[in-house]
Each structure stands twice: as C-alpha cells, then as structure tokens.
A and B are shown apart, each in its own frame.
Chain A
Amino acid sequence: MNIPNDYFYSKSHEWIKFLDDTTALIGITDFAQSELGDIVFVNLPEVEDTIEVEDSFADVESVKAVSDIYSPVAGTVSKINEELFDSPELINESPYDAWLIEVSDITEKDDLLTAEEYEAFLSEEA
C-alpha cells in the first residue's frame, strides 16, 4: 500500500497535502480507492463553498456503491479538480495525484495522522 511521507492522513482515509500554512489539497488514499473499486464518478462541491471539519464535502461513486468524503480541515473551497468529472479513473490510477479539492483559509484542523501513524492505523484495522 502506497503511503507517501509528505502527506497527512485521516482515519476516514482522506489524504491532505499542505501547500502552505492555510492552503491544502485533499484526496483519498490508495487504500480507499482499492476498497471502492473502479470509480465511475465524483461529486465535488462548488468553489467558494465553506466546509467544516468532518463535513462530507464530496462523494465518489463506483458502480454499486457511493462513499462520502469527509474534510479533515475547516476552510473555503478554492479549487476543484474538474479533470475528475471526465476521468474519475485517475483516482484509481494515481490516488495521490488525483486531488479532489483545494482548501484555502484553513482555520481548523482535525487530528491528522502522519504517514507512519496512518500505516499503523491501517494494520490495526486489518
């Protein structure tokens, strides 16, 4: 299972990569995409939407399931990855490049896990 070191993680299997102190990209982990199977669509929020910690801000669809994506931070959606509308398979192919949203003006963070902690969490769960 691929877990890059320069990202932080949540227990609900999102990754977050800080671009600066108050801006970050959010996506779903390699583990999450492999559990979901072939992703066929992504519902993303709108730019300028505000989100709170643990808000469900998006969902991803496979053929027979839909999963909510929760935000590990509070802030404002500054960008969405529109490429995913046409190519949701990017999440399966390269989960750590296929960011879902960029959040700016981050005011609050959940307890985030380091790569090492997330790996330990995964092996506990298994």
Chain B
Amino acid sequence: MRRNADLIFTMSKPGRRCADLPPMDVPETTLSDRFQRKEALPLPEIAEVDLLRHYMELSRRANGVDNLFYPLGSCTMKYNPRINEDLAALPGFTDIHPLQPEHTVKGALEVLHLLETYLCEVTGMDKITLQPAAGAHGEWTGLNLIKAYHAHNQDFARTKILVPDSAHGTNPASAAMAGFDIVSVPSNPDGSVDTNALRELADEQTAGLMLTNPNTLGLFEKNIVELAEIVHEAGGLLYYDGANFNAIMGLVRPGDMGFDIIHLNLHKTFSTPHGGGGPGSGPVGCKEFLAAFLPAPVVTEKDGDIVFDDDRPESIGKVKAFYGNFLVCVKALSYILNLGGDGLKNASEMAVLNANYMMEKLKSMYTLPYAGPCMHEFVLSAEQLKKETTVSALDVAKGLLDYGIHPPTIYFPLIVHEALMIEPTETESKETLDEAIAALSEIYQTAKENPAFLHEAPISTVIRRVDEVGAARNPVLKYDHR
C-alpha cells in the first residue's frame, strides 16, 4: 500500500520557503492602513522538493488517458498527441498579451483564422466564433444566436426550445439559462426522435430544436432531413450539439443535414486534453444569415490581412473576456494539421468501427436496448443483469476499476435504465478493446456467481467506495486550519 496523501496544509512549517523573488530595487511607499489586509493568510509554507513530491503523490492517485483505457461515453477520451502540447507551449503563444497591438499578434490571428476555416469546412458552417470556453458555454452562446435571430425578426412569441428526452443535461440547462422554456420531445421505440410528436410540438412558439446526431444512444437520426424540415417549416432553427461529432468527420456535415448552428468540443473531438475537467473550448458555428449575431470580436479577412472586427452592432455581445481559450485552439489546430482532412475522416471511421466491434462482442451478455449499427458509441443496459443478480450498472463500473479500465458513463441517457454508455474512440487498438471485452465478460460471470464481490468493488484502488450521502448532508468543502 502507498502512503497516505496528506493535505498540503499539514506539511506547512512557518518560515519555510519555495519560490524566491526578484529584489526590491525601488524606494518604498506605504499603503493606507484602511486598505491593508489584517486577516492571516494561511497558505502552505513548503520546500520545493516536498511540493513536488506532494503533487507527484496526487498524480499517482489520478488517472488519465495516458494511464488507462477510458471508454467514457459522450466524453471522447482519445489520445492527446504530445506535439499539440509542445506547440501550445511556444513562447510566441504563451507570452503574448491579449491587448497587444494587432500588428504584433499576426501569428495568433492566423491560428484563429485557420482553425475557424477548417472547423467551418468540417461542419458545413459559414462562420465560427472561438470565444466560448467549453461545450455548455457554446450551447448557451448558440442559443443566444437563436434568440437574437427571432428578436431581429420581431418574432417575440418564440420562447420555446425543443429538446429530445435523450439529450445531454447541458441542453435544457443552457436553454433555460438563455431564457427559454423547454419542451421535451419523446423518443421512438428505436431510440430516434419521434417525428410525429415533433410535428405536433413545433409551432409558432418554437424558437428551435437542439439535437445531438448521432444521438446519446450512439444512433444516427435517420430522419434528420424530415426533422429539419419540420422545425424550419414551423419557423424554428436547428441547433447541433457537437458532443458526438467524433462519429461523423468527413462523412456527413451538420450544415448539410440542415443545422443552422453548431458547437464543437475541441477537448473531445479535436484531441485537446480534458485536464481533469478543463480547460476546454466550445467553438460555435453558424450559417451566414446568423453571422451578424456572433459574439464580438470576430476574426475576419480585410484587404488580404487577418484582423479582429469589433464593430458588430447586431452581436449578442461578449460571452467571455478576450478571444476564448486560445492555447486550446492552438492544440486543436496542430491536431488538424497533423491529421489533415483524410486523417479526420479516418479517425471517425475507426471510432465507429471500434464502437461496433465492442457492441457486437458484448450484446450477448448485457442488454442492447436499441439495435445498431451504432456510430462512435453505444449504450448497454444492466437492467436485466440487476434483476437476475442484483448487480447494477454502478457495480459493473466499479468492477472495471479493478481491471485497470476506466468505467463507461453510467445512468445516462436517462431513457435507458441501468445504462452503460461506452465510447472506445479511434485511438485504441484491437488488443485494448479485446482486454476490455474480456474484463466485462468476467464481470458478467462474477455477477452470476458471486454478486457480493461486485457490490464491494473496487478492492485494488487507493480508497474504496465513498460515503456520498455523508458528503452531501454535512458538506466539508475546505480544510479547517484550526
């Protein structure tokens, strides 16, 4: 067993130093007493070597794509190429001020412009903003475009956003945050959007429909053309949630399917790392007729020069300071240059192949509620298994931890009970998939023979299952220095 990872505060000794600073080389003046901090500042006081060891110990207790197979559905945990990190760390990118004169940041503008151009091409959109910091932020930005469009048309009755019942939680949350009412659209027995229900729900109050395609079940919405027509005929706009974009690069484009607005997750599809929860980047693209509403400034070509255009009277305003998570954009551009158009298409093809391969091998054990072929991910159900053995989706997930595999997304989408949502991504080899399939088969057998073992899992991790109820009832959210 490893030693415990003590909190950094417990290692603190008064007067101990790590960083040193440049000398004071100017005469000193004083700050008025009334502005001066009186409260103690109990930051850790720790030597550099111990600081490093502390974080090394924490890193040993963390797991990324570099540590293990991470088939976390809807999260696209593909390999993050190292070259992207190297390029984003170039001083020419890290050491430039966001308010430098434009002529001194021509390279940065080129990065933004080139990335926009490529993202437009791969999505079939006309214009893109890189300002949103993450997927949900992009959704909310996109919804603001919808709002601005209807307001521009003096069409103030359009207060409703249609959201399928299988959608990501961020969809309704972002729509509500943008000031819309949410109308849930039911799914067909085959997992696709119920076109008849949509036809009934779409009316003169419909501002738009948010759709993920492939949907959260990993299935392509076959009726997409009809869905788009229904919404457009009712006067609404079509929003594409790009969480599942890794399935379709170079194969089909949201713009060609009838979508008016999209967001992408650069930290999913375009391989920029998740960083334990962020930073991400959530570019928003739109068709030309919505471009005037994009957040200011936009990057544009003017007399052969790439410039910022901040004169955008119809813009929805700003959604974030400056221009977005710029270094994340550098990483995504590096990825696209490395893969190229052909490589992007190949990535999607292999992602879809890997998912179908795993699905076919697992569906005899775990229930496949909606038949394939799937796209880049698929959803199994442990409902039957639970009935037979008491082993739930959570138990299966925890069991996988003992095999050194990151569990799938569980209990989502909500329309599948005991859901196990698996997204292998294209960067995993057949051997890795076979190992995961073998692990899930063994867990299935264990469930039948010794369910109690799985209720107790995991047993090999640094801690066992945690008391989440206690954590929520009596929240301890910081260290008590006393």
Which residues of A are in contact with B by a Cβ distance under 8 Å? 38, 40-41, 61, 63-64, 88-89
Is A61 a contact of B472 with CB atoms below 8 Å? yes
Please, how many angstroms separate the alpha-carbon atoms of A40 and B468 in the complex? 9
Asked if B19 CB lies within 8 Å of chain A CBs, one says: no
Is B469 a contact of A38 with CB atoms below 8 Å? yes
Please, how many angstroms separate the alpha-carbon atoms of A61 and B473 in the complex? 10
Is A40 a contact of B411 with CB atoms below 8 Å? no
Q: Which residue of chain A has its CB nearest to the CB of B472?
A: A40
- Across-interface contacts of B411 in A (CB, < 8 A): 64
Please, how many angstroms separate the alpha-carbon atoms of A67 and B473 in the complex? 17
- Nearest-neighbour CB distance to chain A for B282, whole angstroms, equals 25
- Across-interface contacts of A64 in B (CB, < 8 A): 411
- Across-interface contacts of B473 in A (CB, < 8 A): 38, 40-41, 88-89
Closest 10 CB pairs of A and B: A40-B472, A38-B469, A63-B468, A40-B473, A63-B472, A63-B469, A40-B469, A88-B473, A89-B473, A41-B472
- Across-interface contacts of B468 in A (CB, < 8 A): 63
- Nearest-neighbour CB distance to chain B for A104, whole angstroms, equals 30
- Size of interface on B: residues with Cβ below 8 Å to A: 5
- Nearest-neighbour CB distance to chain A for B473, whole angstroms, equals 5
- Nearest-neighbour CB distance to chain B for A57, whole angstroms, equals 19
Q: Which residue of chain A has its CB nearest to the CB of B468?
A: A63
Please, how many angstroms separate the alpha-carbon atoms of A38 and B469 in the complex? 7
Instruction: Map CB proximity to A onto B461-473 as digits: 1 under 8 Å, 0 otherwise.
Output: 0000000110011
- Across-interface contacts of B469 in A (CB, < 8 A): 38, 40, 63
Please, how many angstroms separate the alpha-carbon atoms of A41 and B475 in the complex? 11
Please, how many angstroms separate the alpha-carbon atoms of A63 and B411 in the complex? 13
- Nearest-neighbour CB distance to chain A for B106, whole angstroms, equals 50
Please, how many angstroms separate the alpha-carbon atoms of A89 and B411 in the complex? 24
Query: Could you list 14 A-B pairs, sorted by A, with CB under 8 Å?
Result: A38-B469, A38-B473, A40-B469, A40-B472, A40-B473, A41-B472, A41-B473, A61-B472, A63-B468, A63-B469, A63-B472, A64-B411, A88-B473, A89-B473
- Across-interface contacts of A88 in B (CB, < 8 A): 473
- Across-interface contacts of A38 in B (CB, < 8 A): 469, 473
- Across-interface contacts of A61 in B (CB, < 8 A): 472
- Across-interface contacts of B472 in A (CB, < 8 A): 40-41, 61, 63
Q: Which of A38, A40, A64 has the most CB of B within 10 A?
A: A40
Interface residues of B in 439-482 (CB under 8 A from A): 468-469, 472-473
- Nearest-neighbour CB distance to chain A for B174, whole angstroms, equals 18
- Nearest-neighbour CB distance to chain A for B184, whole angstroms, equals 14
Please, how many angstroms separate the alpha-carbon atoms of A92 and B411 in the complex? 23
Please, how many angstroms separate the alpha-carbon atoms of A63 and B468 in the complex? 7
Q: Which residue of chain B has its CB nearest to the CB of A63?
A: B468
Known: A41-B472, A63-B468, A88-B473. 11 other contacts (CB 8 A): A38-B469, A38-B473, A40-B469, A40-B472, A40-B473, A41-B473, A61-B472, A63-B469, A63-B472, A64-B411, A89-B473
Please, how many angstroms separate the alpha-carbon atoms of A38 and B411 in the complex? 18
Q: Which residue of chain A has its CB nearest to the CB of B411?
A: A64
Please, how many angstroms separate the alpha-carbon atoms of A89 and B470 in the complex? 10
- Nearest-neighbour CB distance to chain A for B436, whole angstroms, equals 25
- Nearest-neighbour CB distance to chain A for B290, whole angstroms, equals 34
Please, how many angstroms separate the alpha-carbon atoms of A9 and B41 in the complex? 55
- Nearest-neighbour CB distance to chain B for A116, whole angstroms, equals 31
- Nearest-neighbour CB distance to chain A for B472, whole angstroms, equals 4
- Nearest-neighbour CB distance to chain B for A84, whole angstroms, equals 11
Please, how many angstroms separate the alpha-carbon atoms of A44 and B468 in the complex? 22
Please, how many angstroms separate the alpha-carbon atoms of A63 and B190 in the complex? 31
- Nearest-neighbour CB distance to chain B for A109, whole angstroms, equals 28
Please, how many angstroms separate the alpha-carbon atoms of A116 and B376 in the complex? 51
- Nearest-neighbour CB distance to chain B for A26, whole angstroms, equals 22
Please, how many angstroms separate the alpha-carbon atoms of A53 and B213 in the complex? 39
Please, how many angstroms separate the alpha-carbon atoms of A101 and B411 in the complex? 32
Q: Which residue of chain A has its CB nearest to the CB of B394?
A: A64
- Nearest-neighbour CB distance to chain A for B419, whole angstroms, equals 13
- Nearest-neighbour CB distance to chain B for A38, whole angstroms, equals 4
Please, how many angstroms separate the alpha-carbon atoms of A63 and B469 in the complex? 6
Please, how many angstroms separate the alpha-carbon atoms of A41 and B472 in the complex? 8
Please, how many angstroms separate the alpha-carbon atoms of A40 and B473 in the complex? 5
Please, how many angstroms separate the alpha-carbon atoms of A61 and B472 in the complex? 10
Interface residues of B in 353-397 (CB under 8 A from A): none
Q: Which residue of chain B has its CB nearest to the CB of A38?
A: B469
Please, how many angstroms separate the alpha-carbon atoms of A115 and B411 in the complex? 34
- Nearest-neighbour CB distance to chain B for A106, whole angstroms, equals 29
Please, how many angstroms separate the alpha-carbon atoms of A63 and B472 in the complex? 7
Instruction: Map CB proximity to A onto B163-196 as digits: 1 under 8 Å, 0 otherwise.
Output: 0000000000000000000000000000000000
Instruction: Map CB proximity to A onto B201-222 as digits: 1 under 8 Å, 0 otherwise.
Output: 0000000000000000000000
- Across-interface contacts of A40 in B (CB, < 8 A): 469, 472-473
Please, how many angstroms separate the alpha-carbon atoms of A104 and B91 in the complex? 67
Q: Which residue of chain B has its CB nearest to the CB of A40?
A: B472
- Nearest-neighbour CB distance to chain B for A56, whole angstroms, equals 14
- Nearest-neighbour CB distance to chain A for B39, whole angstroms, equals 28
Please, how many angstroms separate the alpha-carbon atoms of A126 and B469 in the complex? 27
Q: Which residue of chain B has its CB nearest to the CB of A37?
A: B469
